[in-house]
């Protein structure tokens, strides 16, 4: 279990226990009832089944609670995990917006911001790191082997790599985590552009120190 999965596990448990305490105190509130109704409608369940779900919630059944909870993976958990990891190492870091004038993009060997429109086929940069000697931007991806969107995410990385040249090769760091990014995938990326620097969350602190000393 990697650092991200550990954080996801902690969040599932924390939020499930918080929901249990809420139900113990006030019962099923309107928001939870709405979730039950939407779930029942989506799955074509009748009133009898809906009542069973509500009863399971009142009984604090872990499975039923989990089905109706928001998945931590949809709460920017990957970005937050990396951000906390950097801050624990006393590294000044911020998550960048993914759209608007304050977003940053890597285009034609330049790092650009304050754009009126989002560029086509290029994702925004994810983090800005302020080191003592320089500023570093991070492209961050967490991709699992399963899920179905791996090729799209890999293509996003390839698109960004194609924009790197001599001017930006020491300003961009790719933090590629998850089982999808094995040695073969990383080697493929480096074959496309020898200028890129690739790391993982367990190595990023040391790699940032090396970059800072260049």
Give pLDDT tens digits for 195-205: 889 999 999 99
Same-domain status, 32 and 81:
no
> Which domain covers residue 20, as residue numbers?
3-74
Same-domain status, 157 and 70:
no
pTM, entire model: 0.86
Same-domain status, 39 and 104:
no
Same-domain status, 162 and 86:
yes
Q: Along the chain (214 residues), what's the average pLDDT of each consecutive run of 10 residues?
A: 94 96 96 95 96 97 95 90 96 94 94 89 93 92 79 87 91 94 89 87 93 75
Same-domain status, 203 and 109:
yes
User: Which of 22, 48, 74 is the C-terminal boundary of a domain?
Assistant: 74
- Can you give the CATH number for the domain in which 159 is found? 3.40.1350
Burial bucket for residue 213 (CB in 10 Å: 0-12, 13-18, 19+): exposed
* Phi then psi dihedrals of residue 195, to 5 deg: -80, -15
């Amino acid at each position: 279990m990697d650092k991200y999965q550990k954080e996801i596990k902690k969040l599932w448990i924390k939020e499930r226990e918080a929901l249990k305490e809420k139900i113990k105190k006030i019962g099923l509130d309107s928001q939870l009832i709405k979730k039950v109704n939407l779930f029942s409608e989506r799955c074509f369940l009748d009133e009898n089944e809906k009542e069973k779900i509500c009863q399971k919630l009142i009984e604090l059944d872990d499975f039923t609670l989990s089905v109706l909870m928001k998945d931590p993976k949809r709460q920017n958990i990957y970005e937050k995990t990396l951000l906390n990891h950097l801050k624990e190492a006393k590294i000044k870091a911020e998550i960048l917006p993914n759209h608007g004038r304050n977003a940053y993009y890597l285009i034609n060997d330049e790092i650009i911001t304050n754009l009126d429109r989002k560029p086509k086929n290029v994702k925004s940069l994810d983090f800005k790191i302020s080191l003592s000697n320089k500023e570093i931007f991070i492209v961050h991806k967490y991709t699992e082997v399963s899920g179905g969107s791996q090729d799209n995410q890999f293509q996003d990385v390839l698109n960004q790599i194609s924009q790197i040249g001599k001017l930006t090769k020491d300003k961009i760091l790719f933090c590629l985590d998850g089982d999808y990014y094995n040695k073969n995938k990383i080697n493929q990326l480096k074959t496309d552009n020898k200028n890129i620097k690739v790391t993982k969350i367990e190595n990023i602190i040391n790699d940032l120190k090396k970059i800072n000393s260049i």
